[in-house]
Structure 1
Amino acid sequence: MIQVQNLSKSFQDIKAVNDISFTIKKGEIFGLLGPNGAGKSTTLNMMSAILKSDEGHIHIDGNLINGHAKTCKHLIGVVPQEISLYEDLSAYKNLLFWGNLYGIPSKELKDRINKTLALIGLLDRKNDLIKTYSGGMKRRINIAAALLHHPKVLFMDEPTVGIDPQSRNHIFEVIETLNKQGMTIVYTTHYMEEVERLCNRIAIIDSGKIIAQGTQAELKELIPTKESIQFEFNLLSENDVNQLRGRLPYPLSQNKNKLLVECTVQELSKVITTCNELQLSVEDIQLNKVNLEAIFLSLTGKQLRD
């Protein structure tokens, strides 16, 4: 669906995007994950023909964007970081304005506006002025504006920044609905929990370079750290640990009354059952999951949200 090949972009002496390549399949949600200033927005702006690349090529549905920008723009919808709405107009009139820019016929446009407002859960507020909306509601209207022309691909640049949890969850539900309907979605964020929930595949970007990409399972294989569970006991002897080693198929390491077991949450019940059989009193359990934050830290030596 989308091919990005050796893409680069500089602003004076700053290399914002440095020779990146990736492919996005039709119907998947592809995440660009990285800290602020990593090059996510610049990449998305080049993919949506807002910026021209210094080097490299972008193909969208077989069309080279540098030679067929107009065709590509009709294939994509763009949800920018900034709220692109007129505060003194109603939501309906804002969408009417954007729909007219797309050249959608008037009768058809009215129907599309109502259906899109229903999708984002704001049909009952369509005649209210945008300035009366919360930040999360404005974000949802921003999304609606990008959907009016029925794009095949939706680019979303940090769409949940600065909004309340309820609105964030509603946006997630809209994204999941659109994806089930077959829409391809490119999603940029610095919130690792968002891509963990939404994305089929992920590219981790830092300082303009893609440092890793793949499914969540594939990314977890890139680092030596494995999921583990730490158990704290009232009392734990060396003999107790030896008995556990004989019964459990997982690597164990002891530190006084604490035991680190290299296993997943799904295997937790087996460990607890074995402890109960040996009459070991578990005082506390701590899960050590390998998530995207841990992967980013391992690959770059810094926190994702630095």
Structure 2
Amino acid sequence: MRTFSDRLRGIHAATIVPMTPDFQIDESQLATHLASVASVPEINGLLVNGHAGENFVLTLAEKRRVVELARQHAKDCLIVSGVNHESSLEAAREAAALEQAGADGLLVFPPNSWALGHADDCVIEHHRHIRDATTVPLMLYAAPVGAGAMAYPPPLLERLVADLRFVAIKEGSWEVATYEQNLRLIHKLRPEFVVLGSGDEHLLTSYLVGSAGSQVSLACVVPELVVSLWSVAQAGDWERARAAHEKLYPLAVAIYRDAPGGRASVRLKACLKLLGRLSCASARPPQTSVTPNELRTLERALRLAGAL
């Protein structure tokens, strides 16, 4: 049988959670979204309850339901669920519940409060609580270098990687030099550790430097194009890889980089609505609907990507 780490290689789509106009989860649209993305050839798995899935505004019951629906409608996919809570005790309860709901593995997000600063021992303690409450394989999350103290410096990353229950990392440093630094450090310590290059704007660079694949929300909007980039990069066809990158890059910038920040979830939903795959693009407050300017930029980027 293929191990969790084996199945984690390749492209995994980080999915969104469709909402009704009054901000309730639209289970019918969610089921359709999950099944549609999972049906794309070479999409090997789904990351649910990630940042794109608004995990910071969902209740535990809702997060459980997202995992249950993913398990039901994406049967052949590896299902990884994010775990995101400010309290280590609640994060452990959440992790145990999501494992029980059917997640194959869990991705541990750093609490948002860590952006303001934290002691390294607190980070280790948080991950220990989640580890001790679960039995499935666990993943680390490398936060963007722009996220303040939330990103793990090398000495702390070494301590986290030393825990054998953690087998992979979603490397979201979003900065090429830090990505390569972390990749080299991790593989020096544990060559078998799975490093997924997950900065949507520099997938091409991470594939060139070295990567086992990606967990990215771009793959829930243009999954075929992300799979194509990965496939030609794996084949060493860098000319075609650059061509795929040229199509993806404007869309990645429009979703993730353009100011104001923190708008990825609502912009992803707007893209899916433009593509006719979502009837309502609502995201939970405090996020507001995309502005007319955002919508024009997203539509232009989707056309450049060949999706519209």
Q: TM-score range by the shorter chain?
A: 0.3 to 0.5
Structure with the higher fraction of residues in helix conformation: 2
> Hey, which of these two has a bigger chunk of strand by percent?
1
Query: Using CA pairs below 8 Å that are at least 6 residues apart, which structure has the higher relative contact order?
Result: 1
Could you state the TM-score of these two structures normalised by the residue count of structure 2? 0.40
Normalised TM-score (structure 1): 0.41
